Each structure stands twice: as C-alpha cells, then as structure tokens.
Amino acid sequence: MINKILIWIFKRYKLNIVISELNREDNIKNCNRAVTNNGAEFFSETVVHNLQNNPKKIRIGKGTLVMGMLYIFKYGGEIEIGDYCYVGDQTRIWSGDSIKIGNSVFISHNVNIMDTNSHEINSLERDNSYKKYLEYGIANDKGNIEISPIIIEDHVWVGFNSIILKGVRIGEGAIIAAGSVITKDVPAYTIVGGNPAEIIKHIENEREKN
C-alpha cells in the first residue's frame, strides 16, 4: 500500500512539473509574439499586454532579462528597452505615450513606471469613461487623459518599490533609492530618494576616466 501511494505521488508530482513547463513555454512564446525581441529573455512570470497588437511598439535589446510586466494601451504608447537591462519581478511598465529605457539599466522588483495618468482629472469624465468601459470594453482613444514620455538613460539603477511618473528624464548613471517617487527630472550621476525624490548626493562618473 505504501509503495502504491509513493508511486502515485511521484507520478502526480512529475505530471505537475510537465504541466508547469508547458505553461512556461507557452507564456514565453506569447511574450515573444507580442514584442520585437532582439535577444531578450522572458520567464514564466513575465507578462506582456500589447493592446495595439503591434510588436514594433515594444522593442527589447539583446542580453535583457524581463521578469515583470510590459503594458501598452490601446489608444497609444510604446516601450523601448535597450541592451543588457534587467526588469525585476512584479515591476510594471505602463505606456500610453512613450517610455524609452537605455542600455545597462537595472530596474529592481515592484517598480512602477507610468507615462500616463491612466484616468481623467475631471471626475465626471472619469465616471463616464468607466461606464463606457463596462459597456464597450477598452477605449481606442485616450480622451482627456494626460500623457507625457519618460526617458531613462544608460546605466541607471532603480531601487525596489520606486515609482517613476510621466514626463521625467532620468540622467545617465543616476541611482533611484528604494521607495522613491520620481516626479521631476533626475540629473546624471546623482543619487535621489524620498517622496517626492530629492538629490541626496552627486556620485563620481567613473566612465569619464576611461
């Protein structure tokens, strides 16, 4: 009896592994179909929502690992991620305009990067948009939602739980401390932190020596 139970557990465990692997492979295939992949790697936890169904609107470079979520709205948006970047687990990059991330950018887990307000400022417009969504689904136009592009330059490091809001440019080599909220431009080779984030210190640009 014990042997039969052990055999049953083994077979079930092995079946779960096979199913898990098939689901992982399907998810990676779906991610690759939704983007222009120039050598990036996806994982079982990666999520890509390309509501425009245009792979050219999400472009990812070689040596980049994406574990988080990439999302472009139906009404617009595009995401470009350069070479040798890292997008951490549970990080969400949402675009209704344009998000451009340079090379060798490290984005930790639970980061939110969003170039759109996602909803209207006017409460009546918000209510009407939600009711239209319930009746007709996702809108094809943004209406009065405010959007503005985000640019993250090369060699930036974004700490976990940070938030980067629309219309900002983060300069080369900058470091965003964990839990920061970025509402304005960040100069190159500075460490910023807080809510809203402020400059903590300037750091040396080692690349100028080479």
Backbone angles phi, psi at 115, to 5 degrees: -95, 15
User: Is 119 a residue of the active site?
Assistant: yes
DSSP string, the chain: -HHHHHHHHHHHHHHHHHHHHHHHHHHHHHHHHHSEESS-EE-TT-EEEETT--GGGEEE-TT-EE-SEEEEBTTB--EEE-SS-EE-TT-EEEESS-EEE-SS-EE-TT-EEESB-SS-SSHHHHHHHHHHHHHH-S-SS-TT--B--EEE-TT-EE-TT-EE-TT-EE-TT-EE-TT-EE-S-B-TTEEEEETTEEEEEE---GGGG-
Backbone angles phi, psi at 33, to 5 degrees: -70, -25
Catalytic residue, candidates 49, 109, 119, 202: 119
CA distance 72 to 97: 9
What are the residue numbers of the active site? 119
